[in-house]
Structure 1
Amino acid sequence: MIITGEDIGKKFGKTWIFRNQNFEIQSGEITSITGKNGSGKSTLLQIIAGYLTPSQGTIYANGDQIDEQKHHSVFIGPYTEVIEEFTLKEFLNFHQQFKKPVCSIEEMANSASLPLDKMIGDFSTGMKQRTKLITAFFFENDAIFMDEPTSNLDDEGFQWWKDLLKKIDQRLVIIASNDQEEIKCCSKQLNL
């Protein structure tokens, strides 16, 4: 997969958050979007993922406009939600109705050090973040979009994320962050 941005800009009201962003990101690369607070990192990530429309410019995936391209992707961030009324097992069973898993639910839970039969609503914020990361790493996704992926993770959780990231093969991965440890894992950088 190749995602290309041509002259991308976004404004809210009359204020431009960013303008004239041009880039090309390919499968097999781990790209970071960096910049000061308020520079539009999360916004650009959402535009690239197809969740927001740019105010100017066009995003292409494999040569087709992103709104016309259908691909398997996942978007996670501190503000994305999981179904708290489910146990982890119920949530992952539900999720696999939409995406093909790459291993068993038990293997996913063991890898993340999470209990299968506990209600997600009773999880800590770090455990909920691990649950979101399971949907990124353990299901078939052509592209993985992560906004501050290690927020709320302890040292063990951060190392788990880092180890999983090293195993990424030909998937496209974009991380929006200012965390220097997260950025170190990236081979390419797009700075706003």
Structure 2
Amino acid sequence: MEISLENTGKKYIHNWIFKNLNLDFNAPDHYGILGNNGSGKTTLLKVISGILSPSEGKVRYNYRGADVSEKISRYVGWASPHLELIDEFTLEEILSFHQKFKPWIANQSLPSLIRLSGLRKSLDKPLKYYSSGMKQRVKLLVAVMSDVPLIILDEPCTNLDENSIQWYQDLITEFSSDRLLIIGSNDPENECFSCKTFYTLGKDQLS
């Protein structure tokens, strides 16, 4: 997967969150997007993922020589603390539901994903009874284990305790080394441990 932002900007009403960004992201590299709260990290990630459309400029996506801009949602695994889960579903039900839209990466099955989640003891509980940290595990599991070439994670260690942070790092190390990974972070030491390239959003837009 290759992504190019060309003079890309996003505004809400009359307020520009960022503008004139020119960035390239190429698999299998891992990238960190840094910046203070309110700097526009989440908005930028949503534009890159196709959740939001840019207000100016373009975002181009190339996968195996083909332009996939019109169907980019099929190629993205997305996780964010603000992502809503279906609270009435159990873990098994949410995984089965997701699989209808995106398959899992090779050699993964529903039982193997349940084991990998570390949430087997809560298997029969609806997600509404999960803690915020447990829900974050589910979001990360679904994003990373989907068979997609692009993974975008917004503050992935939010609500995770020390053991869960290690779980997240093991998940990234084992399953994302051959894919494009973009992480928005306020905690780069834990969240962006695999990243080699960093961009920082701020008053001067990008550094």
- Normalising by structure 1, report the TM-score: 0.93
Secondary structure at 1:98 match in 2: coil
Whichever residue aligns with residue 121 of structure 1, its letter is K
Question: 147, 154, 159: which one pairs with 1:140?
Answer: 147
Residues of 1 paired with 2:19 and 2:153: CA distance? Answer: 22
- SS of residue matched to 1:137: helix
Letter of the structure 2 residue corresponding to residue 114 of structure 1:
L
Q: Distance in 1 between matches of 2:157 and 2:146?
A: 19
Task: Write the deviation string for residues 63-121 of structure 1: whole angstroms up to 9, x where unpaired.
Answer: 73734656421211011011110111111111111111231222212222102222111
Q: Which residue of 1 aligns with 2:194?
A: 185
Of 91, 95, 100, the residue aligned with 1:92 is 95
**Structure with greater helix share of residues:** 2
Determine helix, strand or coil for the equivalent of 1:126.
helix
Structure 1, gaps ≥5 residues long: none
Matched letter for residue 130 of structure 1? R
1:38-57 equivalent positions in 2, closer than 5 A: 38-57=38-57
Q: Percent identity?
A: 41
- Is this contact kept in 2: 1:59–1:65, CA < 8 A? no
1:124 aligned residue: 131
Unaligned runs of 5+ in 2: 202-207
**Cα-Cα RMSD:** 1.6
Give secondary structure in 2 for the equivalent of 1:6: strand
- Corresponding position of 1:176: 184
**Alpha-carbon shift at residue 137 of structure 1 (Å):** 2.0
So what's the TM-score if we normalise by structure 2?
0.87
Which residue of the partner structure matches residue 82 of structure 1? Answer: 85
Q: 1:107-158: CA deviations, max 9, x gaps?
A: 2122221022221111101000001111112221111111111101111110
Tell me which amino acid in the other structure corresponds to 1:84: D
Find 2:110's aligned residue among 97, 102, 105.
Answer: 105
In the alignment, is the contact (CA less than 8 A) between 2:77 and 2:146 conserved in 1?
no
